[in-house]
Structure formats: structure tokens, C-alpha cells
Amino acid sequence: MQKILFLTGGLGFAGKHYYKTYKNRWDKIIVYDKCTYASDITFFKKYKRRKDTLIKGDVCDFKKLYKSVPTKSYVIHFAAESHVDNSFSTSLIFTKTNSLGTHTLLEVCRLKKNIKITIISTDEVYGETRNIIKNEKSILEPTNPYSASKTSADIISQTYFKCYKMPISIVRANNLYGDYQYVEKIIPATVNAINDGKKLRIHGKGASIRNFLHIDDFVSAVHLITFKSKNGEIFNVKGKFKIKIIDLIKKLSKISNKKVSKFSKFVKDRPFNDFTYNISDKKIKLLGWKEKKNFNNEIKKILEKNLVFK
């Protein structure tokens, strides 16, 4: 039987790297993407195989999805509105794409039958975690419109597994980074400010702490989960490198030998900014996943080669 993948959000940061690294493990891949500002068509075209197809479509469009999703296939669902900052001003778009879009996709898969689904969630569904470590059974307490929309997608996916016994797995990862991430995210934004003079806006005092997970390590976890997880399982994926945002900016300033004040300015913090997310990655490690990338080496390469998608 042919191994067919329906890859939503395949032009975004995670989707394009998944495609680049794992395309040859599939007989055919259909990329389904709305082509928003975050989509990187140039990157995709560079690696595209002739037999694969790109469909421009919205995950909220039931009819188009129904026509596009093949039966007896796999779905990896990366498509999302992913930038937390934007969610404070345009939260309805986040709820529509992230919550309703995921529900629509699940419903299409339910009707089509025989589809194995990997849902990409986030560590932000746990909400702020200061002194405790969250595992996959911890309660979900989102604190911003982005994480609320992702939490609802996560819960609807769990429900589809419970009600319809559909083969669904869920992946909750830390902050991602790597080559050609869109310039809105903190690492490419800092690199862009240093290399191209666009002022970086630092929220509050930059006091929040984040773990960073390299995109290659993330997509290897997604691939492993797609093939090795049991139906209904949820996995946290953690990057062990942890840093305060202001220290991250200072680190990049030191490597580039440019003063922080030269390329950045402090702005009012978000209405709510989670201090940190402590997640346990015991379960994915038991499945055989290992983090391989070294943060310091990777960050240096991104900065020196200016590997930013703008």
C-alpha cells in the first residue's frame, strides 16, 4: 500500500523542515496550506519532488479539505496561526484557524476513515509553570488567546480519540528555533536586528524564561510519534537549553560584538506573559527520542550566516 501524507501548514517553519528532512520516507506528500505571511514558498520549491502537490487551502474550508484529504493516509497537522503577540490583537483569527480549523480537519478525517493523525499542539497549553513540572496528564491552563485556541484544538483532538476511537496522537513542544524561521519570532528577530539594523522590541524587561528546541530535533520527534505512538497518546517534547529572554539577547550581542542598546528597545510587556513552561520529556525519551542539536553551535551559525526568513 502507498504511504501518503497530507501535510497541513507544510510551508510554515516546522512543516517545511519536516518536508525537507522526511519527504523520502513517503510515496507521496500533499501539502495543504493557506499561504499566509508565514509561508515560505521559496524554501518549499527548492526541495519539492515532482510527484508531490501543493494545494492552497484553508483548514476551515470543509469542502476543499474533503476533496483534498485522501483515504487510507496519514495527516500531520502543523497549520496554525503561531505568533502569540498577534493573538492579542487578532484573536478571532487564532480561534478560527487553530480551533475550528483543527476540528474541521478531524471531522473530515472521521468521515474519510482510516487516517492516522498527528496533531501539533504546544507547551503553552499548560499555562505558566513556575515550581512544578508538567507531564502529559497535567491540567491545561492557557493564559493567552493563542494558547487558548491551541488548547481547544488539543482537547477536541482528545475527544475525537475518545468518542470515535480515531488514531490520533498529540505533540506538545517548547519554543522552536532553527534555520529560516520567520523574523517575528525572538531568535530570528534578534538576528535580524543585529545584522540588518531593524530595531528589536523587548517585552517588559525580557524576564521570561524559555526552553528552546531545535527544529531538526522537533521534526524527528514528530516523525517518531507518527509511526511509533499508540492511538490517543500525548507527548511533550523539550529542548534542554533554557534561558531568560534578555540573556538570550545579550548572548547574541556578545557573539556579534554589538551593544544591545544599539539594536533594541524596551516596550511595554504583553497583557500577560507566562514566566516559564517546565515540561517533562520522560515519555518521548522512552519512545526512543533524543535531542541532538547543541544550542550554542546552532545559534552562532544562524547569526553568522543570517539564516532568517523575512
Ligand X SMILES: NC(=O)c1ccc[n+]([C@@H]2O[C@H](COP(=O)([O-])OP(=O)(O)OC[C@H]3O[C@@H](n4cnc5c(N)ncnc54)[C@H](O)[C@@H]3O)[C@@H](O)[C@H]2O)c1
Q: For binding to ligand X (CB under 6 A), which residues are involved?
A: 8-9, 11-15, 33-36, 38-39, 58-60, 78-82, 97, 101, 120, 122, 150, 173, 175-176, 182
Report the alpha-carbon distance of residue 203 to residue 270 in Å, rounded: 7
Q: Report, in Å, the least distance between residue 293 CB and ligand X.
A: 15
Q: Report, in Å, the least distance between residue 57 CB and ligand X.
A: 6
**Residues 6+ away with beta carbon under 8 Å from 273:** 203, 204, 208
Which of 194, 221 has the CB closer to ligand X?
221
Instruction: Kindly give the pairing relationship between strand 175-177 and strand 209-214.
Output: parallel
Amino acid at site 227: F
Residue 74 grid cell: 496519514
Residue 123's nearest CA partner among 51, 175, 169, 50 is 175
Catalytic (active site) residue 146: yes
Which of 11, 246 has the CB closer to ligand X?
11
Q: Report, in Å, the least distance between residue 204 CB and ligand X.
A: 19
Which of 88, 258 has the CB closer to ligand X?
88
Catalytic site residue from 19, 22, 74, 146? 146
Q: How far is CA 121 from CA 79, 80, 248, 309, in A?
A: 10, 10, 25, 23
Residue 275's nearest CA partner among 96, 129, 72, 71 is 129
Which of 60, 287 has the CB closer to ligand X?
60
Catalytic site residue from 40, 52, 58, 124? 124
Q: Report, in Å, the least distance between residue 31 CB and ligand X.
A: 9
Which of 10, 206 has the CB closer to ligand X?
10
Catalytic (active site) residue 123: yes
- Residue 197 is classified by DSSP as -
Residue 30 has phi, psi (to 5 degrees) of -110, 115
Report the alpha-carbon distance of residue 33 to residue 51 in Å, rounded: 17
- Residue 287 is classified by DSSP as T
Q: Is 11:53 a contact under the CB 8 Å cutoff?
A: no
Look-up of cell digits 528589536: 200
Q: Report, in Å, the least distance between residue 300 CB and ligand X.
A: 20
Catalytic site residue from 33, 40, 123, 281? 123
Which are the catalytic amino acids? 123-124, 146
